A and B are shown apart, each in its own frame.
Chain A
Amino acid sequence: MKLHEYQAKELLAQYGVPVPPGKVAYGPEEAERIAKDFGKRVVIKAQVHVGGRGKAGGVKLARPEEAREVAGKILGMDIKGLTVKKVLVAEAVDIAKEYYAGLIIDRSSQRVVLMVSKEGGVDIEEVARSNPDAIVKFPIDPHKGLRHFEAREVVKRAGLEGNLNRLANVIVQLYNAFKGVDASLAEINPLVVTEQGEIIAADAKIDLDDNALFRHPDLAKLREVEAEHPLEIEASNYGFAYVKLDGNIGVIGNGAGLVMYTLDLVNRAGGKPANFLDIGGGAKAEVVYNAVKLVAKDPDVGGIFINIFGGITRADEVAKGVIQALEEGVVKVPVVMRVAGTAEEEAKKLLEGKPIYLYPNSLEAAKAIVAMVGGAK
């Protein structure tokens, strides 16, 4: 789960990381009021869950008397498909140096890895591509945590200039926050050294581990559903793993691997999937019925491909759910099915004479649905 910059900064501040004073505004007047209270130059920043806000014009400096106009331009702006509904109004920082400090969960080393770079204020993935040596990486022992001397060594190796102890402090605090909130990513970019020698987190990003949200009910409440596709919200209410895609063939299957494979087959047959939907293991008829109803509701869907390999899930339960959806008239588009595995014969018997197209082989089924609905546009 992604947090907004202002939320990330509030959390970091709780762990001692210095952040510029700032407040959130939902309208231009509010932005002006906040800026006038600060009484000095501010930076007004769009709060949306995408990167590249600066390039899109969503981050602007303003004097207090300009704040209303500048905020008015940013609010309502569309950044990569998301509408800006709030802005952070923060005191502008006198930047002398811009660094990068971040923590990620690295799959290869199976550790939380600290990354520090002199090249701050720019996209770190770009630095990783163009100048990988400029990023110093340090895998953290999960039982010892990040010790101060380790942070100092990393700061030195990365060539950061400024008060060594204070820089290391901020990095240790960043790690404490990462652990404390169960983050999957936390970064300060830029980590600024000001003209006065102060160290401050001018921008921050935190992603939370969805699996650990049960430990942080206050943070779980920060989820903003409006940023997601309405069908994704409905799917999450049913407990489905669902991803909206941009094609026209609805895809339902049991097991993430099988559904991914089914998307690949649809593509291979020249079609484009409208979604990824995994009904999970051991699904009963009602679950399947809900899945079919949800996918059929998508106006992009011109046909549905249901791919089932019965294991713990029984193919006849799946058939019952599909038949119920057909009989209640919730599906107006062609349905192609492929069933195999546990209770395959029972399922086939149930589906006999029903208005669906049954195929024994996944690739043949994919070709059939693409032929019915039409290929990729």
Chain B
Amino acid sequence: MSILVNKDTRVLVQGITGREGRFHAEQMQQYGTRIVAGVTPGKGGQEVLGVPVYDTVKEAVAGHAIDASIVFVPAAAAADAALEAAHAGVPLVVLITEGIPTLDMVAAVKEIKDLGVRLIGGNCPGLISAEESKLGIMPGHVFKKGRVGLISRSGTLTYEAAAALSEAGLGTTTTVGIGGDPIIGTTFKDLLPLFNEDPETEAVVVIGEIGGSDEEEAAAWVKEHMTKPVVGFIGGRSAPKGKRMGHAGAIIMGDVGTPESKLKAFAEAGIPVADTIDEIVELVKERLG
């Protein structure tokens, strides 16, 4: 078991004929992801990587059963592409694209949620259920099937944590990179209930960072509802206020987004916080006995 995606998930790739889209679609196929179709407006009728390409998501959905779409469309058109998938009835949309205008995301996130569709990202590495299916750009080989759910605002740091969990023999169930932007489709607190109910997930690691209040909201949910152990991590604890640290969302504004506030929220929810990646593994081991 896993959350959101598994080996049977049938995937559409939007932007499949572009450089990024094609490269990662091929990587996903090699991982075992069931890609059934692609969409690039104006390129309908072609075949790429052994799957048919359509002009619109509607046409793709008419010809194939599709469970999820992954979007590699350039920033100016990315929110529109995610909306297209949602309106065509695709229940899960993973938006990889970086640099999407914030107001596009404000409008798209609301509309997509109103349609009852789950959006992951944008500006995210995607998600992966270890050794089953990858809808993202992460290096698949570091994810070994196991017992821990992993959610993160970072990319590389997630791969590093997954590798450490794999090496320690703990492994992961599903890993979700929620994205580094201020307005994203799915936050930590949206995913915790799914892990809480997934029979294979025994513990959850939350890799947060400075900026915003996702970690605080996640901690509040854990305190009230979570029955499984949660281990936390906060990146950027030494970052100066008011400076944007790479991710558009990783910025301390006034009193919001400080590491102190996040550490306090984790402490109040009984979530132990690791200072290093190695410590994440140790804390998970301790909690799982």
Determine whether B146 belongs to the interface, using a CB cutoff of 8 Å to chain A: no
What CA separation (Å) do A282 and B276 show in the bound complex?
24
Number of interface residues of A (CB under 8 A): 53
CB–CB B110/A257 < 8 A: no
Q: Which of A128, A211, A265, A267 is within 8 Å of B102, CB to CB?
A: A211
Interface residues of A in 304-324 (CB under 8 A from B): 309-312
Residue of A260, A276, A281, A362 ringed by the most chain B CB atoms within 10 A: A260
Question: Which one of A5-13, A102-110, A161-169 is at the B interface?
Answer: A102-110
What CA separation (Å) do A209 and B104 show in the bound complex?
11
Could you tell me the distance in whole angstroms from the C-beta of B77 to the nearest C-beta in chain A? 11
Determine whether B157 belongs to the interface, using a CB cutoff of 8 Å to chain A: yes
Chain A 325-368, CB-CB to B under 8 Å as 1, else 0, gives 00000000000000011100000000000000000011100000
Interface residues of B in 255-289 (CB under 8 A from A): 255, 275-278
What CA separation (Å) do A256 and B156 show in the bound complex?
8
In the complex, what residues of B have CB within 8 A of residue A107's CB? 182-183, 212-214, 249
CB–CB A259/B246 < 8 A: yes
CB–CB A261/B139 < 8 A: no
Known contacts A267-B238, A361-B278; decide if A179 and B157 are in contact (CB<8 Å).
no
Determine whether B101 belongs to the interface, using a CB cutoff of 8 Å to chain A: yes
Interface residues of A in 179-222 (CB under 8 A from B): 179, 182, 184, 209-212, 214-215
Chain B 93-112, CB-CB to A under 8 Å as 1, else 0, gives 00000011111101101110
Determine whether A255 belongs to the interface, using a CB cutoff of 8 Å to chain B: yes
What CA separation (Å) do A107 and B179 show in the bound complex?
13
What CA separation (Å) do A143 and B115 show in the bound complex?
14
Known contacts A260-B250, A264-B238; decide if A143 and B107 are in contact (CB<8 Å).
yes
What CA separation (Å) do A56 and B254 show in the bound complex?
20
Known contacts A258-B154, A260-B246; decide if A342 and B103 are in contact (CB<8 Å).
no
Given A108-B217, A256-B155, 16 additional A-B pairs, CB 8 A = A105-B103, A211-B75, A211-B248, A212-B101, A214-B75, A215-B76, A241-B246, A243-B245, A254-B156, A255-B157, A256-B245, A257-B156, A261-B277, A311-B142, A312-B137, A341-B163
Q: What are the 8 closest A-B residue pairs judged by CB atoms, nearest first?
A: A257-B154, A256-B246, A255-B156, A257-B157, A212-B101, A260-B236, A267-B238, A258-B156
Residues of A within 8 A of B (CB): 105, 107-108, 110-112, 125, 128-129, 141-143, 179, 182, 184, 209-212, 214-215, 241, 243, 245, 253-261, 263-268, 273, 276, 278, 281, 309-312, 340-342, 361-363
